[in-house]
Chain A
Amino acid sequence: MSTKYSKSAAFAATLAAAALFLSACATTAEPEEPAEGGEALSGAVVIDGSSTVAPNTEVAAELFQEVQPDVQVSVGVSGTGGGFEKFCNGETDISEASRRIADDEIAACEANGIEFVELGIANDGLAVVVNPANDWVDCLTVAEISSMWTPENPVTNWADVRAGFPDQEIILYGPGTDSGTFDFFTDEINGDSGLINPAYNDIGEDDNAAVLGVAGGAGNSAFIPLSFVEAAGDQVRAIAIENEAGECVEPSLDTVLTGDYNPLGRQLFVYPSAEALTKPQVLAFLEFYITNQATIAETAGFIPLNADQEVEALEALNSLL
């Protein structure tokens, strides 16, 4: 008897699981409600790409949902490269990127007949940060930063970066190779994307780990997105960088927005495909994203586009319609 019982118990459990699963499958979307003003849209907007850009797009998606509650916007974080891989395979509507699309990615898109357009959506800066106990550095030139980060004979002591700096070992932290932040920094500082001092500590995708690393020793240094500097408080100090005009400029909202903070000021991008723009909900989302970019960027902790960049983005969007 008990044997039979145990069998039926197992059966019941399997059946219950299957029933739950199938009933879950049968669930359909909520009935549509018209939005306030304008026509009510529905359907999906599939976004993937850079984890740096995602927080900004998430705010955009959330605000957009208040206007168009039936449009289902999803945001993934495969990284800039991983996002383009899916995008050029026709699997996403919009790809987010913390750098411009690379040549091999353009080729992959072309091979699959994916047409796209590049839209600048916010500004961001990369900051070179040092330990607060580091009182000798105020401003570095790109060449000096490169001497620490270059793959060929990098300097390992502050005394070798510039005469007069103290004898203090340099320990470096930075994001991993999948990150657009890594590509951008190595391109601007070492001249080619991917060139890096192999002795640096790869902290993967977690920029907070770089903050902790730098906070752990007087000679430590790292490059992190500007949004992380603000959140890090007193743990690290961002240094000024000598720009193309020869001026020492500290990273800030203003200096990034005006373009004075270079070469480590950057734009963040979204890339919609031409096919996706034929879907009214994708087009409506992007128009909403660009026209509300200032509010969105401020909420998400990024630096908004300036007026010229906003016009440029809208024109770029219209060019593909």
Chain B
Amino acid sequence: MSKSSGRTRVAVRAASSSTIRLDRVGVDIKGELFRAVLLFSILLGVVMLATLLIFVAIRGSDRLDLNLFTQLPSSIDVGTSGFLPAIVGTTYVMLGTLITIVPLGVSAAVYLEEYANRDRWYNRIIEVNIQNLAAVPSIVFGILGLAFIVRGPLNLGFVAFAGSLTLAMMVLPTVIIAAREAIRGVPPTLRDASMGLGATKWQTTWRQVLPLSVPGIVTGTILAMSRAIGETAPLLLVGATTFVRFLPESAFEGAYSAIPVQIYQWAVRPQDEFRVLAAAGALVLVALLLVMNSFAIWLRARSRKEF
């Protein structure tokens, strides 16, 4: 993008000028310190993640086999017990979340960026609300989901799609905020050109602005889905069960399980073999997350373009 490459040029110029200064003064203490702080920040995150992954890999090493993916959970043959219904359940829940948050999140973002008049008080309230929603604890969404989605107005019952909608409420702000940033990043000149050629606002938004926003929207969706896939508490409240020896009938019918809920239940068992299984399950969850995000990143790479 021309904007960012412009920024890079400035940065390069700044860097080279500091090199000149470095030659003159000796050591650029501030610069080196800043660099060290940046390095520390990135290392902290990476090291924490690596520690966690290595820990669960070692802890679950006895049970890292294909049974994890192909077998039903078992309290009798713990040695060959697997996550199959939980994997299928999580897939249903996540697909339901995806098809809910993308259209809703993008529509909300388009409204706020392209249509809303920011001087109006109600639009400002909506904005503040969305930002605050992102900070609400997940258990609150679980309670909300139980009262309004499982019971109450929607009355879906304890089914996978109720879990999808509950998680969707929780992560929607992430998608909206990311999509807004993406839409804002589309150069205004492009909109003006489109309008100037006689396109309507709808045509400009649909054919010019949205396609260019896809990478940003996909990034927001990745973040949202990654948060949703690991949630346990809200799913427990809206009825994800911990033990099913059958696959969910559909997203709208019958009991379902989910990987984090299954891990939670096994991790607190007295017998060590269950806890090993829970550690192995954490890796199953990470594997599923990687598959999901790889697809999204591939999609983002294909739709990114320079202008």
A25, A29, A54, A78: the one contacting B252 at CB < 8 Å is A25
Flag the segment in B18-26, B170-178, B206-214 that touches A.
B206-214
A7 and B151 CA atoms in complex are apart in Å by 38
Count of CB-CB pairs between chains A and B under 8 Å: 132
Count residues of chain A with CB under 8 A from any CB of chain B.
55
Shortest B89–chain A CB gap in Å is 11
Q: Which residues of B contact A74 (CB under 8 A)?
A: 241, 243-244, 255
Whether B270 sits at the interface, judged by CB under 8 Å, is yes
Flag the segment in A55-63, A134-142, A193-201, A256-264 that touches B.
A55-63
Closest B residue to A209 using CB positions: B268
- Inter-chain contact B251/A231, CB cutoff 8 Å: no
Flag the segment in B36-44, B47-55, B93-101, B195-203 that touches A.
B93-101
Flag the segment in B58-66, B108-116, B297-305 that touches A.
B297-305
- Inter-chain contact B207/A207, CB cutoff 8 Å: no
B211, B243, B303: the one contacting A54 at CB < 8 Å is B243
A268 and B247 CA atoms in complex are apart in Å by 29
- Inter-chain contact B99/A14, CB cutoff 8 Å: yes
A3, A17, A78: the one contacting B208 at CB < 8 Å is A3
- Inter-chain contact A206/B271, CB cutoff 8 Å: no
Shortest B92–chain A CB gap in Å is 6
- Inter-chain contact B251/A21, CB cutoff 8 Å: yes
Closest A residue to B302 using CB positions: A9
Among B92, B95, B240, B305, find the residue whose CB has the most chain A CB atoms closer than 10 A.
B95
Q: Which residues of A contact B210 (CB under 8 A)?
A: 7
- Other 18 A-B pairs with CB < 8 A, given A54-B243, A301-B270: A2-B305, A3-B212, A6-B211, A14-B103, A21-B251, A24-B91, A24-B250, A24-B251, A27-B247, A51-B268, A63-B76, A73-B245, A74-B243, A76-B239, A78-B236, A89-B151, A205-B268, A232-B270
* A-binding residues in B (CB < 8 A): 73-76, 91-92, 95-96, 98-99, 102-103, 151, 157-158, 207-208, 210-212, 214, 236-237, 239-247, 249-252, 254-255, 265, 267-272, 275, 299, 302-305
* B-binding residues in A (CB < 8 A): 2-7, 9-10, 13-14, 17-18, 20-21, 24-29, 44, 46, 48, 51, 54-55, 57-59, 61-63, 65, 72-78, 89, 91, 205-208, 225, 227-228, 230-232, 299-301
What are 29 inter-chain pairs, A to B, with CB distance below 8 A?
Answer: A2-B305, A6-B211, A6-B212, A6-B214, A6-B302, A6-B305, A7-B207, A7-B211, A13-B299, A20-B95, A21-B95, A21-B251, A24-B91, A24-B251, A25-B251, A25-B252, A27-B247, A44-B255, A51-B268, A54-B265, A62-B75, A72-B244, A75-B242, A75-B244, A76-B239, A206-B268, A208-B268, A232-B270, A300-B75
